[in-house]
Structure 1
Amino acid sequence: MITIYHNPRCSKSRSACELIASQYKREEEPTQIIEYLKQPLSTAQLKELNRQLGCSVREMIRDSEPIYKELGLSDSTLSDAQLYEALAAHPILLQRPIVVRNDRAVIGRPPENVATLFV
């Protein structure tokens, strides 16, 4: 199963979807595209996604979004729990796209990063 956490308004997210469809998707391997702005992830789902990514919670957050500054998320004293709560409440903060396959995940910026899931 390939799962893509996707924002259709994002060119990098669209490019990653196209790359998977054209180069990596196998006929027998289903693909699930989740528009996370319409179907926000819970804190538990974000924690699992973070485990699969193997990165810090901060690396999952888009610091270029206006809400990042509004919420003061650059504060280094914020706990992971507080960061997960911000991501759950404001899904626009989630990096995009994120692609998951075989219990591993990558942030598809640039879209070519998804190749690591298929080697």
Structure 2
Amino acid sequence: MSQIRILHNPRCSKSRQTLQLLQDRGLNVEVVEYLKAPLSATELAELQQKLAITDIREMMRTKEDIYKELQLGAETVSEDDLRAAIVAHPILLERPVVVTDTGARIGRPPESVLELL
């Protein structure tokens, strides 16, 4: 099995459930608390590619207050600006995200990450 990494927020129930799901299968999981160690713009672009998402908003928490405050829903906001917003405000990144050598999945629902195994 390849390396498994989870972008994790321990305060999020879906994130905790996804981590537990992986651990219950006896998998060795690298836990990255992305709020404490935010991803760079380059890492976000790589993650977007692994997720096979063309619109970066699909990996964003669009209901967060900061999303609305920064008016990130406007059509004129570029993908680079959206990526910069996630770097500056990592709470905007949808969670949890499980990453392996073969791809990545957002754990909503948690069982969706099992496709990577």
Give the TM-score normalised by the residue count of structure 2. Answer: 0.94
**Which consecutive unaligned segments of at least 5 residues does structure 2 have?**
none
Hey, what's the Cα distance between the residues in 1 that align with 2:7 and 2:102?
Answer: 14
Deviation (angstroms), 1:16: 0.1
Hey, what's the Cα distance between the residues in 1 that align with 2:7 and 2:85?
Answer: 17
Hey, what's the Cα distance between the residues in 2 that align with 1:108 and 1:79?
Answer: 26
RMSD: 1.0
Partner of 2:21: 19
2:45 to 24, 34, 47: 47
Partner of 2:4: 2
Hey, what's the Cα distance between the residues in 1 that align with 2:37 and 2:102?
Answer: 20
Deviation (angstroms), 1:103: 3.5
Percent same amino acid among aligned pairs? 50
Hey, what's the Cα distance between the residues in 2 that align with 1:76 and 1:87?
Answer: 17
Deviation (angstroms), 1:24: 6.0
Partner of 2:33: 35
- Work out whether residues 22 and 29 of structure 2, in 8 Å CA contact, stay in contact via their aligned partners in 1: no
Hey, what's the Cα distance between the residues in 2 that align with 1:2 and 1:87?
Answer: 22
Match status 1:99 vs 2:101: no
**Which consecutive unaligned segments of at least 5 residues does structure 1 have?**
none
Hey, what's the Cα distance between the residues in 1 that align with 2:72 and 2:34?
Answer: 20
Partner of 1:66: 65
Aligned length: 114
- Work out whether residues 6 and 97 of structure 2, in 8 Å CA contact, stay in contact via their aligned partners in 1: yes
Deviation (angstroms), 1:82: 0.6
Give the TM-score normalised by the residue count of structure 1. Answer: 0.92
Please tell me the residue identity of whatever aligns with 1:52: K
